[in-house]
Structure 1
Amino acid sequence: MRIKVGLPLLGLLLALLLASLSGCDNPEPAEKGFAGLGGEASVFTPVVPGRVFSFPADHGPHDGFRIEWWYVTANLKDEQGREFGVQWTLFRSALKAVSEQPGWGNQTIWLGHAAVTSATAHHAAERYARGGVGQAGVGVAPFNAWIDDWRFSSQGSDALADLQLSARDKAFSYQLRLTSTRPLVLQGDKGFSQKSEQGQASYYYSQPFFQASGALIIDGKTYQVSGPAWLDREWSSQPLTANQTGWDWFSLHLDSGEQVMLYRMRQKDGAPYLTGSWIDAQGQTQLLHADDIILTPQDTANVAGRSMPVHWSIKIPGKHFDVTIKALNPNAWMDLRIPYWEGPVQFSGGTGYLEMTGY
């Protein structure tokens, strides 16, 4: 799931796949809450404040936690100024709170999502894999995340300084190089990213300063593209409550070099849980609370039979930030086994990505 819901947070949706992908394992009883992850998770490792992050180890998988994801989005242009969006996500979901094991006894399910978007087209694809048999995984020396022939891999000794990103399906493919010399960003309170007033949370860090370049193919036509890209990394065991129905997540690249991440966790009852971060051009972060942000849907579009808010007003008065955001392509519906909306957005003074789930 990037609020990805960085989450970016689409990783939460993996719970819906366990019954169909767990093979001969005895599935656990169905849990309550959105995507099954608002329920009891006491057998898994809890997310608590005060974690000390360690790199490059934290770029890799985390035994004991139920879900995690490696999530990349890129806002790209070709030489004629035409705009595109690219998404690449790898999700890891643990069936049991045990260490990784080789072979078919492995208790991990992997899921990959990839998509491309232009002003007139949107294509999405997915891949599934069982852990332990070499079909998918993440390594840290060197960094390499893959599922089938989709890859996000380091080209040097610094794990997240120079990487190749690739995916392909029938209607699209892309091969991009992502580079950055900027520091990683710990989201929330030093990497502890709270998702509800009850304390549900994830560990969450980002690299919002990537620059991407390479080739993108859509419907048989090749484009040479470049632009900013964003990586989100999150892991958790119970990031939502049973009352939370979905989220709206934004990652914004400002022309000033600053970055903004916001998410709104919608609830069945009560006001949404709203938070985010303001990241200056040097990578220093400021946690944003609900009273710092005015996030308002402005207009909707009928997408796949749903009313989707594809036009937003975002105000952060303390930063003198006041923009209206529109989807590059309102029909950026991820028509996958677990459907959701995700695509690039435009605004005066920058560009970004929006993910919306639970509609």
Structure 2
Amino acid sequence: MSKHTISITKTTNPKPRPDENNLVFGKYYSDHMFIMDYDAGQGWHDPRVVPYGNISLDPAAKVFHYGQTIFEGLKAYRTDDNRVVLFRPDENWKRLNRSNDRLSIPAVDPEIAFEALCALIDVDREWVPSAPGTSLYIRPYVIATEPQLGVSPSTKYMFMIILCPVGAYYSEGLNPVPIHVESEYVRAVKGGVGNAKTAGNYAASLKAQEGAAALGYSQVLWLDGVHRKYIEEVGSMNVFFKINGTVVTPALNGSILEGITRKSVLQLLRSWNIPVEERELSIDELVEAHRNGKLEEAFGTGTAAVISPIGALHYQDEKLTINEGKTGELSSRVYDTITGIQRTELPDPFGWVVEV
């Protein structure tokens, strides 16, 4: 039972639910959404579930002009016995508040956020799909709403949650993708907002993403913004490389997002006694490992795909094919284990899964 009073106003015009076998990411939204307001001196107030619809903002709202906004992403899954579960939501609320702090946004009480999400999912429970590989994507976010053009933190905010049923990330199986190593543009630098989940980071990535797509590559591998040599992230995912039996991932350095799937993969690998290193990793070291036949596997990790195997790297006009362009044994094992835990098809020894 909720400890906080969350008002619920149900829609009188429910939408037809989409075909679960033809879901795509970010196209369909459930019947309701959650909203909570913040005013300086009053704090967060008026938590409510309302029908999904447009919101009205003053043209001078600070989010439009100074980008004061953050967001999160997590998923709900329908189990074989018709329960609805979440994967490590406590980690999302921790990261949301780390992002809030970096953007000078007031913290959201994790308890209220969790109760709000449960209330919203309960109202829209029928929107949690059950077809194989499908899930309910959850997007919590905060926007600055004060209508004032001075460059200063807003005194008014909205915290919102919307729900989006999505299909399997891989329509034809767990296939490796080719990645372009970006050497012109940078995503973030230490001391900036690279470790916050904020809109500007993604806007800054689009130009490089377009360039990679024009070359026929699915994603961008970012290098650090100072030396242009140390590996940071792949697109919107963290990245792992298996080099001579050891799994290496870039250490969190202030410009890399602290991924929840990344954290889960590290915990899983260590529980399997697989050697893991979190450290600086240069593109030169990676190229050398490939030339010596020691670069065995590579994969990205994130909420949307869980695991995205990397079949090739394109760097300075050279294509480095990894594991013959095939999905590696470790990548498959990690993917099968995490998705099995998420859907309660495998035991959860870590206590990651929470029922709604």
Measured against the shorter chain, the TM-score band is: under 0.3
Higher helix share: 2
Instruction: Answer with 1 or 2: which has the greater Rg.
Output: 2
Q: TM-score, normalised by structure 2?
A: 0.26
Q: TM-score, normalised by structure 1?
A: 0.26
